[in-house]
Structure 1
Amino acid sequence: MGESRTELIQWLNDLLQVNYTKVEQCGTGGAYCQILDSIFGDIPMARVKMNAKHEYEFIGNFKILQNAFRSHKIDKPIPVEKLVKCKMQDNLEFLQWMKRYWDANFGGQGYDAVARRKGAPTDTPVTIAPLAPTARGGSAGGLHAGGGRAGGKTPISGHRSGSAQPNEAVQTLQAQVRELSGHLEGLEKERDFYFSKLRDIEILVQQQVEALEAEGKDDPLLRDIQKILYSTEDGFEVPDGAAAPEDEEETF
């Protein structure tokens, strides 16, 4: 049996000098990167986003972790798609494995976690931040981006002067608007991130198909990939003026 959640969080906070309260926070990937850095001291911590709040940032952290696993010949698979969802059970199992690996490989050397990340903030949310403040107060609310601002210090239902209540309601709504704006920006960045990768794949496939056609050859696998890239679903319409893939002219 591995350590309990409480024991793991206490160990993690002591090692990394952070203030995590839930195992789910490890789903951002930053803590996993720094655990490995405490062993080997060669993780590019300047590139690790310890206060990541969006899934595309989590994925960036896990790419750094995957590179480190390859570099140190660690053959443990990293279930990135599960971990970035910040679910407790998936991250608990992976954190337990990381703790066992650390116990077996940490050399006992001193480790200054704050200096290694150059004092970068670590206010990581438990999950991707909710759109509205939590119904209950407490430390968990502060783990969400904007949670403290949205919740306010005094409940609106408390006995306050009439002029203060509308003002606090406005502040709450403004916080939710900022929250929504932050989510929208994150979703747009994530969309562009994946679109650029698909576009690169499309270009590479097209170049290879054209090269084979010039030699009088064909590759059914590449054709299948193109079908997937260019397929549409019911209700999806190609925007007016958009060129068909075969009519596009690439400029390099």
Structure 2
Amino acid sequence: MATNIGMMDGAYFVGRNEILTWINATLELNLSRIEEAASGAVQCQMMDMTHPGVVPMHKVNFDAKSEYDMIQNYKLLQEVFTKLKLEKHIEVNRLVKGRPLDNLEFLQWLKRYCDSINGGITNENYNPVERRCKGGKERNSKGSQKVTKSLHVNNAANFGSSNGTKQGKVGGSMSDGAYSTSSIQALTDQIADLKLSVDHLEKERDFYFAKLRDIEILCQSPELENLPVAAAFKKILYAADAKESALPEAQELLTIAKDAGTTEDETET
């Protein structure tokens, strides 16, 4: 069961579009941005689908706009986690701010968890629209619309006009000296995706750097710093040439140390 998964787990490399497609198809919503799930209502209903009857849907506010109302949804979600004995802490103060990366990471974890429970198979007997109606306010007027178009079709609709009205073409075409609304939106989405990619790369870099730093500290400890294996590790850690691997030199140090140890044993004998 995926309750505590590391930041380098494949779950955290699932893209924004895939997460949105999963939410929209599963709950029959029409979200276009990750931030639209910041209220916590979507997460509550995902848990309701995964564990029928555990979430008191009548308490979920799908129309939550203020941070106070959003926090109430997350409190409800945390109670559900506690009831299910899930050791997952919810960063409520960060999620309600609507920042894309924070909300994406939580939804990535949620998808991994739901998939671990039902194998990624949607409960065919679950009616998301009916459950939201029983829960009270709908999130918005689009919330009850069933998503029948693929992500490709939805994206195409965003880039052009469905009624034949002429629009500026995506990719830099100009209309009256300015980018069309669809072009600006497309570029904005690209920037958001690039920012998420950079954030993930920075986290991965920091993750591995921290491991290397731990190894360095260990090698500098009095118990290990004079051992051949510590010298070999340092040879790799402090290698200045990024193009050539320091592994052969490190292995040579170990071989020399081993041969020296063998010679000493023979002499003593």
Scaled by the length of structure 1, what TM-score is found?
0.47
Scaled by the length of structure 2, what TM-score is found?
0.45
